[in-house]
Structure 1
Amino acid sequence: MDRAAFNAFCADMPATSHVIQWGNSDVWKVGPKVFAICGWADGRDAFTFKVTEIAYEVLQEQPGIRPAPYLASRGMKWLQHYDAPGLSDAELQRHIEISYDLVAAGLSKKKRLELGIPEPSMG
């Protein structure tokens, strides 16, 4: 997945917004909360997303995936796909969807209804 495909994929999710921040990173939010980031790692696109505790433990052992700089060091369960082999495009998209669901689930029910966000599937 490249940056353009990442941005197009995130833009198709309900109630998302996009900002450029943190050194020219593409930052995607659901409501007011971040669910995915695309920045650079050694000149390549790097994709950062929130994961469950189990996924955090398992995926960080895969080559090309690491605990997300800054976020993971603060105890948050975020990973970064930064190099090959990492995840396939389909796997990366699925983890971005899960990240969206995890973050949306953290919004109040009132906020989700206000934004027109469906109940998170979490699966």
Structure 2
Amino acid sequence: MASTPERGGLMDRDRIGKVCLALPGAMLDHPFGEHHDAYRVGGKMFVMVGEQGGVSFKVSDIAYEILTEMGRARPAPYLARARWVNLPDPSAWDDDELAEHFAIAHRIVAGKLTRKARVELGID
């Protein structure tokens, strides 16, 4: 798995970027303006950091139900129907746990790419 920030630190915009960009084929762009960081694999977004520092990411159907029902995350604005959750304060989460969620988000999105695209990105 990708290297993660040390335990106990704050998962801020920079650390989120380091974790996401360490994943195979990941890239950063700013389709919603310079204050929103969108991490993509194969052109598909898997994590987004908002202007205020909150983070949204893709999850499985089961994780979506569990995280939202437990109150650990809320449905992501505009993306909830696609099973994205939002954390207004990612620093409140354990770094390793959050890094694992980002890796899973990457895996979910990358898994929907064509085999050719995955091979080109070094994922398969």
Instruction: Give the TM-score normalised by structure 2.
Output: 0.83
Counterpart residue number, 1:87: 93
State the alpha-carbon separation in 2 of the partners of residues 95 and 117 from structure 1.
Answer: 18
1 or 2 for the larger relative contact order (CA 8 Å, sep ≥6)?
2
2:15 is matched with 5
Q: 1:100 offset after TM fit, Å?
A: 0.1
Specify which structure has the higher proportion of strand.
1
**Identity across the alignment (%):** 39
Q: Distance in 2 between matches of 1:56 and 1:4?
A: 25
Cα separation, 1, equivalents of 2:60 and 2:68? 12
Please say if 1:18 is aligned against 2:18.
no
Once superposed, what is the RMSD of the aligned Cα atoms?
1.7
1:7 deviates by 0.6
CA deviation profile, 1:19-76 (whole Å, cap 9, x unmatched): 1232420000001110110114xx4x1111111111000001344510101111xx21
Residues 26 and 85 (structure 1), Cα distance of their counterparts in 2 relative to 1, 3 Å cut = closer
Instruction: Tell me the matched-pair count.
Output: 113
Unaligned runs of 5+ in 1: 119-123
* Cα shift at 1:84: 7.1
Structure 2: runs of 5+ lacking an equivalent: 1-10
Give the residue type in structure 1 aligned to 2:32: W
Distance 1:111 1:85, change over 3 A: closer
Q: Is the 8 A contact 2:54 2:90 kept in 1?
A: no
C-alpha distance in 2 between matches for 1:114 and 1:85: 34
